[in-house]
Amino acid sequence: MRDAYIIGVGQTAVGRHNDLSLRVMAARAVEAAMHDAGAESVEGLYVGNMLSGVLLNQQHLGALIADAAGLRGIDAATAEAACGSGGAAVRWGVMAIASGQHDIVAVCGVEKLTATDPRITTRGLAMAADYDEEASHGVSFVALNAMIMRRYLYEYSLIPEDLAYFPINAHHNGARNPNAMFQKAVDMRTYRRSPVVADPIRVLDASPICDGAAALIICSGDRMAEIKASGRPFARVLASANATDSVAVHSRATPMFLQASYLSSRRAYAQAGLEPQDINFFEAHDAFSVMAALSLEACGFAGPGKAHEMAKEGEITTEGRLPMSTMGGLKARGHPVGATGVYQVVEAYLQLTSRAGPNQVQNAAIGMTQNIGGSGATVATHILQRMN
């Protein structure tokens, strides 16, 4: 297997883009990434998206976005794995390079969630759950995560405020990210005053409905001589791993443990020859506060029921032991579902190439991203290394 390197990234600001179509957002992100990489062309394009068919009546995004970005004729396809679609697309891109199929490819994640009635969007997001076992009984995706959070709090004798340090940290970082949807810090008082969405989940426990597109360029080692000569920054992909669990939460052996996160992270650690303590920062899938905690525990960064202690003690800040959600995460940067996994890798690349601005993690050499589909049914983990 060949080494894969990320050599350029692009992104749109996350938010509500009434004036931009999905194809325009995606094309802009791809074009920005190609410009950043100094690439005039690519051989493949892999697009992460979850809901364009349901919400926008548009499928076939691989060809659509390739055409919009001036790349007509290349290999292109769409990856769908619910909220983990972006991570799946990144994995396709890495595998295309590692296998020798291509020497340079683009990966794009894009989602437009604000163009439809919120009730339709909510119904679409519920498709990440098991329809027969969960959604058909009227359980929305937020309600499903509320049940998970309630059980988690019960299991470990916690209160909602114990998990509030995750969104507080995310908003602190998002306030310093010009591409974040929410660029305002919050505190515990703000958290307590935020409305309850589905008890015990408050507004500040949940990621927002939004639009966005992010892209990156991946190449093989054969291209590295010219990249090094150009002086452009790059990062090596040390690991790309995926794992699955049952889509229905009640079918899992231990609902309070993300088995797919555990398997995906352990496969990634094995590929990279690393252990959890070797990771310098973690871009977690903090779509809900409880998911941030469960991810930290499944990946080996904290013991069962102990993740909140890391957050409360400041260990997940950009100056802490394991900086997390360094550009705001899903909570503050925003969660355009099919694009999220690509945003995570883009942000990890920016950290590793010292381009993260006010949110820069000092001496960041190894970064990990984890993108979750559904409530833990599909999990893609990537580990990146600083190279220059």
So which residues are the catalytic ones? 83, 335
Length of the chain: 388
Classify 298 as helix, strand or coil: helix
Amino acid in the structure at residue 29: A
| Cβ neighbours, 10 Å, residue 100 | 11
Is residue 142 exposed (0-12), middle (13-18) or buried (19+ Cβ within 10 Å)? middle
Q: How far is CA 239 from CA 6, 87, 278, 349, 358, in A?
A: 12, 12, 13, 14, 27
Task: Supply 213's token pair.
Answer: 């597109």
Give all strands (DSSP E) within the chain, no chain letters.
4-11, 44-48, 75-79, 104-112, 196-198, 201-202, 211-220, 235-244, 281-283, 366-373, 378-386
Classify 388 as helix, strand or coil: coil
Max Cα separation, the chain?
Answer: 59
**Cα 301–chain centre separation:** 18
Using alpha carbons, select from 258, 296, 341, 287 the residue that is nearest to residue 81.
341
Question: Can you tell me the distance from the alpha carbon of 277 to that of 322, in angstroms, rounded to the nearest whole number?
Answer: 9
Residue located via tokens 């998911």: 291
Question: Can you tell me the distance from the alpha carbon of 90 to that of 326, in angstroms, rounded to the nearest whole number?
Answer: 20
Using alpha carbons, select from 19, 81, 16 the residue that is nearest to residue 46.
81
**For strand 281-283 and strand 366-373, is the pairing parallel, antiparallel, or unpaired?**
parallel
Give all strands (DSSP E) within 171-324, no chain letters.
196-198, 201-202, 211-220, 235-244, 281-283
| Cβ neighbours, 10 Å, residue 363 | 7
Q: Which secondary-structure segment (H or E) carries 9?
A: strand 4-11
